[in-house]
Each structure stands twice: as C-alpha cells, then as structure tokens.
Structure 1
Amino acid sequence: MNAQIDPNGPKLVSIPSNPVPEGARVGYFTTSDKVRLRYARWLKSEGPQRGTVCLVHGRTEYIEKYFETIADFRRRGFAVATFDWRGQGGSDRLIGDRTVGYVDRFDDYWTDLRSFHAEILLPDCPGPFYLVGHSMGGLASLFAAARDRMMFDRVFLSAPMVGLHGMDESLGRMAAIAETASFVGLGRLPLKRRVDRRPDEAMYPDNPLTSDMLRYKRMVDTVRADDSLYLGSPSFRWLAASMRAMLETRHERFPGEIRIPLLILAAARERIVSTPAIEQLGLRLRTGRHMMIAGARHEMFMENDSVRGQVLAAFDAFITQQSS
C-alpha cells in the first residue's frame, strides 16, 4: 500500500473562518505513475452509515476549500475522502513554475482517481462509494463513469467542464492552437489571463465564482494563510489536453458509455464553463439527467445559502435517500 499518514507529513490549513473538520486523517499516496498526491479522509459525524463520498475538485482547487461541504456530507451519514489533483493544492507540482497549471494528458487525472480508489477508498473507507465532482473534476468524473461502472454507485456533478463559456463553436480551433503551441515547445508556458491573479477582496464584485461575499473572502484568506496552495494560469499543454477531453464528450457514442446513475447540476449564472454544452450532454444521457440551479454562479458549493440549499436538496434526493 502506498498511502502514508505521517505526523510530520502533509497538513491542512486551518483559519478561524475555515477550521479543519474534526477527525481528519491526512497523508500522501503515490499514483501508479509515481506522482505523490495529498489526501484527507473523515468518518461520518452523524446518522446511519451510508457509505463514502469521494470528492474531486476543479482546476486550481484544494482540499481546504471544501471543509464546509465535507461537514455537510458527514452530517448526512457519509464518510468523505478527497485529494488534490496532480499539479495543484498540496500535491506534487509538475513543472518548474509551480503557479502554472500543467498536465501531460487529461488521462493523467484518470490515473489519479483510479489510484486513489485503489490506495485509499477500497482499503480504508466504507462502501458504497459515491463520486462528487466539480468543474474539471466533473469532466474527469464523466470519464471515470464511462470507463468503469463498478468503481462508484452514483455520480453527482457540479458544473462539469464539458465546454468553456462562450466557446462552444471555437473549442476545436482553440484546441488545435494549443496543441500547435505545445508541439513547438511552448507547452509549459502559461496563457496569462486576468482572472488567474491571486484572489483578493477587490475582485469580489465581478467574480464569476460565487455571490456570497463571506465564502469568497474565506477562499482569499485560505490562500493568504498558505500561498503554496495558489495555482494561476493554465499552460498551453493543459489547455490542449483539457479541450480535447471536452470535445470527446460531444462524440455520439460518449453518453451511451455511461451506465451508472448520474446527475449533473448547471449554474444559471455561469461564466466559466458552458451551460449549453452541459444541457446538450444531459439530454443525451441514458442513465442520467441534468438540472439548472437558479441564481447560481460557477462554484455552487461555495454559493449563498439559498443556492447551496438547492444543491444539497438535489444531492439528498439523488444520493442520500437512495443510500438508505
């Protein structure tokens, strides 16, 4: 077994507005291709044992960002297990500039998830297993559901990255440009964007992530407490790999490859991923469906109480009540 829980090993950042939920077990595990990833797991805090939620994050995110949501799942009777993808959070960064998002292939995220399932979920967590994925993690979750229907009983996705806002017609062209840049040796260079600056309070009024000021400030304060969590612009190689993965979900065969129950939530006020692409995929699913969350921006788990209430009600109807 490659998992390690070391008292001198990885830590979780705890601040007054975002304390670590009690009972955390934190460690590293090593993927099948020898990348070291930080993970954390918790037992349920209340109610009957319902299994384990495997929570996978979006690009730039990290375990600490989900403490409130982890507590929500634990109160419903679920254990929770989560990890930082390669290249972000407290996991191994892959290139010299640790603030640039990089991955060789989108399939490397499948390697991360499959290794986590084998090294942490199966030996250490109570079944059944439910996969909850946000944004980039939602796209990786779709491929997991298509490739192995035995890993997870149900899949619940928040704003999966199956397209980019305003780029539904140009995604293929942009993928080709990013691939060309990578081919000529520019793959590790960042595509600099204003939205990838370190978050601060001044960015809140026009931010595309959440309408909740306190939860936005909590994200700002967490990164300030440990700047090593920060991840900025995506590299051209990351863009090329991710855009090709998004385009693959549009193939006629893709929805039929998913044979486990799946629920996708789309944000009504989305400005990061493509809501039309989510809706089109949802309509084509055989074992799943999609629904729109009114008033929501991209990060629905970090939204105001009204939006979060809708998201958790959908989770309860789709997973909590089905696990009874």
Structure 2
Amino acid sequence: MDGAPVELQPAPLFAEIAQGPANGAAHWVQTADGLRIRAGHWHPGGTAKGTVLLFPGRTEYIEKYGLAAAEFAACGYATLTADWRGQGLAGRMLAERRLGHVGHFTDFQKDVQALTALADQLELPRPWFLVGHSMGGAIGLRALIEGLDVNACCFTGPMWGIQIPPLMRPLVRVLSGIAPYLRLHERLLPTTALEQYVQVTPFEGNTLTTDPEMYRMMHAQLEAQPDLALGGPTIQWLRVSLEECAWLAQQPSPALPCITFLGTDEQIVNCEDIHDRMDRWPGGELDLIEGGQHEVMMETPDIRAHVFSRMCRLFDQHSG
C-alpha cells in the first residue's frame, strides 16, 4: 500500500561497549540512493523533553556516543545518531573498507534524510535539537541551511575548515586537482594510515583528548568490535570536504540559537573558520574550552560536565 510505513529492520547495537542508557536499540535504514546505514537511539527513563539528533564525525560510529546519550538522558532527552555511509557498520564505499571515502559530500544529506525519516517513524519526541561533531558539524550546518527542523543546535570542533600544515597545502592543492584525471581519487591520503587513529597513536601526544580514560575507551571499543574501525581518508574525501567547507563559508548563518564548543588546543579542524562563522551567527556563542582538544564531549570530567550542562540548558530554554 502506497504511503505505508516501512517495516523497521533491527540492527546490532553493541551495548556493552556503548555504555549508554539501558533501553538503546539500532535499526538499518536505506538511503534514497540505496545505501544501508545504521541508526541507534536511546531514551530517558521518563517522558522525554525532546530528541537530540547527534551527528558524529569522520571515522565514528554509534557506540562511541553511548556515554553522551546517557548524559542527555539524565537531562530528559532522547538521542538518535547514525553510522554515516562509509563508516561504522554502514555500507562501505570501497572494496578496501578501511578507506574513508565519499563520492560527493552532499551525499551525506541522503543519510540525514533517512535518519530523520526514521525519527518520524519511531515518533521520537519533539522538539528536536542538533549536536554536530567535527565532520558531523559540516553535515549538520548544511542540513540546517536546507531546513532541518530543530529548535536549537550545538557544535563541537565542527569541520567548517580543515587544518592543513602550511608545507602540505601546495601538495593538497595539486593532488586535489589532478586526482580525478589520474584515477588517484580512491587512494589513501599521504601521511595517513589504513588503521584507525587511536589504534596506532599512543595517548601521549594524541590530538583528540587529554583524558586517558576516554582514550582507552575509544581503543577498547575498536578492540572489541574491529569492524567499526576506519582508517585515513582518500584524496577524494579531502577534495570534496574542502569544497564543502568553501561552500559553507559563503552561506549565512541559520536563524537558530547555537553554542559552538572549541578546545583551545584544537589541532584537527581550522579554528579561524569556526571563529569567522560564530562572529556572524546572530544569537550564537563560541565557548572556548581551555586546554580542550578535538573531542570535548570525551574530555576530562570537568570539561564534559561543562559541555553537557551548557547544551542541556540551551535545549531546555528552547523546548517549548
């Protein structure tokens, strides 16, 4: 029957490594271009005030945000998140599954559409709120510009620009330009590895977090479920990501309440682009996290408490 809801397809959720609320579940959903992605959700114990749409970063997966979902549940909010195409248990884009790849950055919007359709089908409580981390910050900003229906938004280390060492910039420009013609676009980006960052990088000197327990958790999750791992990006991923950042930089900021959290020791995304965006976001606020690195939701207990408290207060203010 036309218009009938699609039957929900259960998917694995590795609750033992996610450490989220006890009522978590996951489903397979299909995108408009026929790809299968995985979506996971958790609920608070009582009546929810609303739902947080949590957009993860590159290489990430549902279980990494179980602890975040527990924080939101403690504040009365449900959480819905996903494995984007090409990562986690979602359909991988290349035969070498460890390569981070996407054909067009806007393809991620098909994943957003599938995710929000699932939220409607599950009747996840409104209002909805957006939290976008790193690459999920770029995906989320475009989704907002294109009309994603949320009451407020937060970003952590959003990828509105990519930090490229000065000596690497000429090489990146050359590679990005010639890769499609020399059939190099599916090659691993130089200086990166096929293994996931936390699998090959010791805690000392890492660029993600200053909290050793959180770093151990990330490593333990991948040890327990190796299929979740994703290595470095392809040249194509970098090319289309830079194009997306350039497009986003030309767009006005959405008319939404917003807090963006940025660690003062951020080394992955371009901080100047974040400052520029928040300087022209009416009603938006940039919260600089002293000593924080890229993963402020997985930083020291004091930083995590500050970030989640501020997010939930913002959502409470706009839940009516």
- What is the TM-score with the length of structure 2 in the denominator? 0.91
Mapped partners of 1:166, 1:249: distance in 2: 18
- Give matches, 1:72-221, under 5 Å: 72-121=71-120, 123-148=122-147, 151-166=149-164, 174=172, 177-194=175-192, 197-198=195-196, 199-200=198-199, 203-221=202-220
**The residue matched to 1:126 in structure 2 has which SS?**
coil
**The residue matched to 1:142 in structure 2 has which SS?**
helix
Mapped partners of 2:36, 2:306: distance in 1: 36
Residue type of the alignment partner of 1:42 = W
Mapped partners of 1:154, 1:196: distance in 2: 37
Mapped partners of 1:168, 1:308: distance in 2: 32
**The residue matched to 1:162 in structure 2 has which SS?**
coil
> Which whole-Å deviations, capped at 9, do the CAs of 1:104-134 have from their partners, x for residues lacking one?
1110111111221123345431111111110
Q: Which moved more, 1:195-204 or 1:169-178?
A: 169-178
Mapped partners of 1:98, 1:160: distance in 2: 25
Q: Could you tell me whether the CA contact under 8 Å between 2:189 and 2:232 is conserved in 1?
A: yes
**The residue matched to 2:94 in structure 1 has which SS?**
coil
1:301 to 277, 285, 297: 297
Q: Could you tell me whether the CA contact under 8 Å between 1:268 and 1:293 is conserved in 2?
A: yes
**The residue matched to 2:261 in structure 1 has which SS?**
strand
Give 1:288's aligned residue. Answer: 284
- Give matches, 1:226-265, under 5 Å: 226-251=225-250, 254-256=251-253, 258-265=254-261
**Number of equivalenced pairs:** 315
**The residue matched to 1:83 in structure 2 has which SS?**
strand
- Give matches, 1:1-12, under 5 Å: 1-2=5-6, 4-6=8-10, 10-12=11-13
Mapped partners of 1:155, 1:214: distance in 2: 28
Residue type of the alignment partner of 2:58 = R
Residue type of the alignment partner of 2:125 = P
The structural deviation recorded for 1:94 is: 1.0
Fraction of identical pairs, as percent: 28
The structural deviation recorded for 1:203 is: 1.0
Mapped partners of 1:286, 1:91: distance in 2: 36
Q: Which moved more, 1:163-172 or 1:153-162?
A: 163-172
Q: Could you tell me whether the CA contact under 8 Å between 1:210 and 1:303 is conserved in 2?
A: yes
Q: Could you tell me whether the CA contact under 8 Å between 1:110 and 1:140 is conserved in 2?
A: yes
Q: Could you tell me whether the CA contact under 8 Å between 1:145 and 1:155 is conserved in 2?
A: no
Q: Could you tell me whether the CA contact under 8 Å between 1:55 and 1:132 is conserved in 2?
A: yes
Mapped partners of 2:45, 2:179: distance in 1: 49
- What is the TM-score with the length of structure 1 in the denominator? 0.90
The structural deviation recorded for 1:62 is: 0.5
- Name structure 1 gaps, 5 residues minimum: none
Mapped partners of 1:83, 1:155: distance in 2: 17
- Name structure 2 gaps, 5 residues minimum: none
Question: Aligned pair in 2 of structure 1 residues 284, 110: CA closer, same or farther (>3 Å)?
Answer: same
- Give matches, 1:32-111, under 5 Å: 32-46=32-46, 48-111=47-110
Give 2:224's aligned residue. Answer: 225
Mapped partners of 2:105, 2:200: distance in 1: 32
Mapped partners of 1:122, 1:228: distance in 2: 28
2:274 to 278, 282, 302: 278
Q: CA RMSD in A?
A: 2.3
Residue type of the alignment partner of 1:295 = G
Mapped partners of 2:117, 2:249: distance in 1: 29
Question: Aligned pair in 2 of structure 1 residues 202, 270: CA closer, same or farther (>3 Å)?
Answer: closer
> Which whole-Å deviations, capped at 9, do the CAs of 1:68-113 have from their partners, x for residues lacking one?
1110001111111111100000111011110000101110111111
Give 1:21's aligned residue. Answer: 21
Mapped partners of 2:206, 2:7: distance in 1: 37
Residue type of the alignment partner of 2:299 = E
Mapped partners of 2:120, 2:236: distance in 1: 30
Question: Aligned pair in 2 of structure 1 residues 121, 131: CA closer, same or farther (>3 Å)?
Answer: farther
The structural deviation recorded for 1:260 is: 2.2
**The residue matched to 1:82 in structure 2 has which SS?**
strand
Q: Could you tell me whether the CA contact under 8 Å between 2:101 and 2:234 is conserved in 1?
A: yes
The structural deviation recorded for 1:320 is: 2.7
